[in-house]
Structure 1
Amino acid sequence: MIKRDYNSYTVGQIVAGNFTASQIFARYRIDFCCHGNVPFIRACQNSNVKPENVAKELDELQDRSAGGTYDFVSWPLDLLLDYVQKIHHRGIRINGPQIAELLDKVVLAHAEKHSELLQVQKLFHDSLNDLLSHLLKEEDVLFPYLYDLFNASASGTKIERFHCDTIQYPIHVMELEHSGEGERYEIISKLTNGFTAPEDACASYRLVLLQLKQFEAALHEHIHLENNIIFPRALQLENELVM
């Protein structure tokens, strides 16, 4: 087994190198997406887990085949933007309302005995509303310029400044909104005991918790790709190419 010195990496860098590591971090509730810039040691301490235990699992992961995972770091910027929009943005717009509809039915049937569902319902509806607004800001304002940066880089040309001088400002806003969503789903996870159905849960109750867990996992990948790969790369291109 080749051991890696994880202490010199942030959790975002570790996941960027092998996205399967996200499964280990998710199990320990280590935030690799919204706070991907946190050093490995500190992230483990924040989640009250021993760094050596997490490192051991990461080393074992490196020894196993990473087949079936995407090497996002090697992807060009335009492909990353396409993937985020066609997989994650589209997924939120399709899956979000369906989950909300089922959650409303489950709340109606079970909230009298499981009052925490009322808070879960409000958190998810608020999240969906905020996410839909967030997606539009990315698609209408930020991403078109990121495509322009990629095209300028590919053609070896310079590019005019972003309309508000630099993409640092909208990226900062996007990252703040990402952090808000990360905190929101952390609360949902705690309210549902890690998306675990109670013994008296019906099939719909169990299904909606599974869907919420999958929605959170997809959101983590979505935020990770933007915070830890797309945004840093775009800022570097802006620094190199803007006239």
Structure 2
Amino acid sequence: METILTLDVTKIEPRFKHPQIFEKFDDLNPNEAFIIHNDHDPKPLYYQLIGERGHVFTWEYLANGPEIWEVKIGKIDANQPQETIGEMVVKDYRKAQVFKKLGIDFCCGGKKTLAEVCDKKGIDVEVVKAQLSEINDIEQANALPFDSWDLGFLSDYIENTHHQYVKENIPFILELANKVARVHGDRHPELIKVAYIFNRIAHDLSLHLEKEEKILFPHVKALASAAKNKTKFIEAPFGSVSNPTQIMEVEHEHAGEDLAEIRELTQNYLLPQDACTSYTILFKKLQEFENDLFNHVHLENNILFPKAIRLEKDLSV
């Protein structure tokens, strides 16, 4: 049986922890792994790895607190690409419904393979494959051809459809969440946490949309215009388009985790018997908001961002 090295980062001086972990990761061969042993959740490292190395690693919790955390980090073999969940949904959007029903994140977690996600969630991968296969046997309806759209047009669609939805609905949901927490929080204390989390989502997403609309999307549109008109492309001050897209993906993941926590706190939006009208509307709006964000992030993470990165590389040749 293969022995996997364990790196005890509790014995490393704080300022040297992440550099040593990165050095160890860079020394791995494809399909090799090592384990980090820590006294707190190393989740910030996960986001730093995404930001600096991209989605080229696996991340598996072996111990998850409260005193000891151990994570197995593996290096993906780039020469043996496997279809990701996001790529599956790009090819056939109906598969998103299967993933949603099973609690599988096809947007923020869309870079993972089906096997990786099923292993992490304890789901029989063959059962999921069977359900996906049933979708293949059904004639596909006329869905919008997002994957074939010009990137400038897709950016405008996302902004005018999903960004606009977020902007219009955040104030209403905030008002409902705060009101319901104030009225029902004594009997249902989880509502206080729900209101707190959604306030954080509202703040973070508002800043996120502004960065996309003022920085990232104009850059993507410039790329698309240069390709269409065969004109010279001028590099942006932030360098490669992969720099802001990696940041956006990390922020997408934060929002997805927050909404997943709300779903867990509310037991999948299960209404109690004493729920008033505002309580009922809040849960319906939160579910609607989550569904829209899933579709929104899918279009960006799985279609817009990777195609923009590829287009930039093509223009640089």
Report the TM-score, using the length of structure 1 for normalisation.
0.93
How far has the Cα of 1:76 moved from its partner?
A: 1.9
Give the counterpart of 1:41 among 115, 126, 129. 115
In structure 2, the residue matched to 1:166 is 240
3-state SS of 1:158 partner:
coil
Equivalence for 1:185: 259
For structure 1, the 5+ residue unaligned runs are 1-6
How far residue 68 of structure 1 moved from its aligned partner, in angstroms, is 5.4
What are the ranges of 5 or more consecutive residues in structure 2 without an aligned counterpart? 1-80
2: CA distance between counterparts of 1:125 and 1:173? 21
RMSD: 1.5
Structure possessing the higher radius of gyration over alpha carbons: 2
| Aligned counterparts, 1:208-223, within 5 A | 208-223=282-297
Q: How many correspondences in the alignment?
A: 237
Tell me which residue corresponds to 1:145. Answer: 219
Q: Which amino acid aligns with 2:132?
A: L
1:84 aligns with 2:154: no
Identity %: 36
Higher strand share: 2
Secondary structure of 2:200's counterpart equals helix
Q: 1:131 aligns with which of 180, 191, 205?
A: 205
Deviation at 1:8, TM superposition (A): 4.2
Q: What CA distance in whole angstroms lies between the structure 2 residues aligned with 1:203 and 1:15?
A: 36
Instruction: Compute the displacement of 1:157 (Å).
Output: 2.6
TM-score of the aligned structures, taking structure 2 as reference length: 0.72
- Within a 5 Å distance, the mapping from 1:81-120 to structure 2 comes to 81-120=155-194
Of structures 1 and 2, the one scoring higher in RCO (CA 8 A, sep 6+) is 1
Report if aligned partners of 1:149, 1:237 keep a CA contact under 8 Å in 2: yes
Structure 2 Cα separation of the partners of residues 151 and 24 of structure 1: 36
Which structure carries more helix by proportion? 1
User: Does structure 1 residue 236 correspond to structure 2 residue 313?
Assistant: no
Q: Deviations over 1:141-185 (max 9, x none)?
A: 111010010011111233011112211211111111111111111
Shift of 1:224: 0.9
Deviations 1:175-207 (A, max 9, x none): 111111111111011001112212221222121
Distance 2:82 2:304 in 1: 21
The one of 97, 102, 111 aligned to 1:28: 102
Partner of 1:62: 136
